[in-house]
Amino acid sequence: MANSFRSYSAHRGGRFQQSGRRPFRGGQQSHRRAKTQGIDVSRFINERPVTETEAPYVPTHRFADFAIDERIKENIAQKGYITPTPIQDQAIPQILEGRDIVGIANTGTGKTGAFLIPLLDKVVKDRSERVLVIVPTRELAVQIQEEFNDFAANSGFVSLCAVGGANINPQIRTLRYDPLFVIGTPGRLKDLMERKALDLSRFNTVVLDEADRMLDMGFIHDMKYILSRMSKKRHTLFFSATLSREIEALIGDFLNNPARVSVKTRDTAANVRQSVVRLTDGKAKLDMLHDLLIQPDFSKVLVFGRTKHGVEKLSKMLRERGIAAESIHGNKNQSKRQQALSQFKDNRVRVLVATDVAARGIDVADVSHVINYDLPTTYEDYVHRIGRTGRAGKLGQALTFVD
């Protein structure tokens, strides 16, 4: 991977050159310019990944060691998994014991396997068990559904992915088959409940995944409504990337004497090199993006924009310039969004332009770059955006356009 991580600036030839200067260091003027939407832009710069200096995590288990059904172990082996990630290593034994869990971990750490594997074993051993998984976005629900299909291969178990933007009638029909797992977003789950299609009285296990994001998106009342329809004597698993007073309050309301598992060491991944692209006079922003995307090491790129309309327009303009690009945003129905994501995963398009609705839900291997074409609204949004690259221990690159 090319070492093109310093701050970028355009020169007259229309190409980008690396700036030897350490951007946004010193000077009163540069410090003022670095303040954008309440975020200090110097936080977008980390040019020295430290992966190589960090001691690797040594798990205390192998998947073969866990007291889970042999058929689940076979499916895990089929995926090529031998040793668990830190969150899996620490959380799975606690969940198998039936304890409530608070898991604090960054994105891309294997959280989905950490709860699906023990809960699938739980259902295998007691077919009366039903599991509800609540997530903030459609994309994340679909990702979890795909993981479930892998871990539950050849079991014949029925699950439901209940999300908005898709026809509700097939979801209602699937509920008549009494699925063992229901994975969904708060709004659609509440809709199904109000239609009397989803009865939570038999669901004694619930997973709240990316609870901090659900709080940010205003789903708190829906979450409380859904949980109020479940038994108070339930098994609750709570996962979040951050801990705030609001999150601690939810933990106190929703969980019973939970075990706490934290594998988060920093806000942003240590192996993501972060730089800025400085917008210069006389150079169109779109041209600057184009000049980056045609460089050979920009092999699989996620570009973030602020608005649904802007994202759609940008992807169209990139296609007109001969760049294979697609878009994903809230104005697209679920089928179109999933189609765009599949094309990106399968390398049929090289660039995916997205709004923040996708920041939490996209789990795609080998994303070489994340480009913040529009600045994120909050630093937390920035963290979740750039978490799409540098996954599974690989180096990733994040570039942010700034004035």
**Two structure tokens written together for 12:** 């007259």
| Type of residue at 247 | I
Query: Which of 165, 234, 179, 243 minimizes the C-alpha distance to 201?
Result: 234
Measured CA to CA, the distance from residue 104 to residue 53 in angstroms comes to 23
In the chain, which stretches have pLDDT less than 70?
1-39, 41, 46-55, 107, 264-270, 281-282, 358-361, 392-393
For residue 137, what is the enclosing H or E element?
none
pLDDT of residue 335: 84
Q: Specify whether domain 63-262 bears CATH 3.10.450.50.
A: no
Q: What is the largest CA-CA distance in the chain?
A: 69
Measured CA to CA, the distance from residue 200 to residue 223 in angstroms comes to 13
Q: Is the distance from CB of 241 to CB of 385 less than 8 angstroms?
A: no
Burial (0-12, 13-18, 19+ Cβ within 10 Å), 42:
middle
Q: Kindly give, in sequence order, each residue whose CB lies less than 8 Å from that of residue 244, ignoring residues fewer than 6 positions away.
A: 212
For residue 301, what is the enclosing H or E element?
strand 301-304
pTM of the model: 0.68
Question: How big is the CA angle at 203 (ends 200 and 209), to the nearest 5 degrees?
Answer: 95
pLDDT of residue 264: 64
Measured CA to CA, the distance from residue 320 to residue 57 in angstroms comes to 46
Burial (0-12, 13-18, 19+ Cβ within 10 Å), 153:
middle
| Type of residue at 321 | R
pLDDT of residue 309: 94
pLDDT of residue 11: 39
Instruction: For the beta carbon of residue 233, count every other beta carbon within 10 angstroms.
Output: 7
Measured CA to CA, the distance from residue 122 to residue 252 in angstroms comes to 25
pLDDT of residue 1: 38
pLDDT of residue 271: 78
Measured CA to CA, the distance from residue 233 to residue 281 in angstroms comes to 62
Q: How far apart are the first and last CA of the chain?
A: 27
| Portions of the chain given CATH number 3.40.50.300 | 8-53+267-402, 63-262
Tell me how long the chain is: 403
Owner of token pair 């895990």: 76
Q: Specify whether domain 8-53+267-402 bears CATH 3.40.50.300.
A: yes
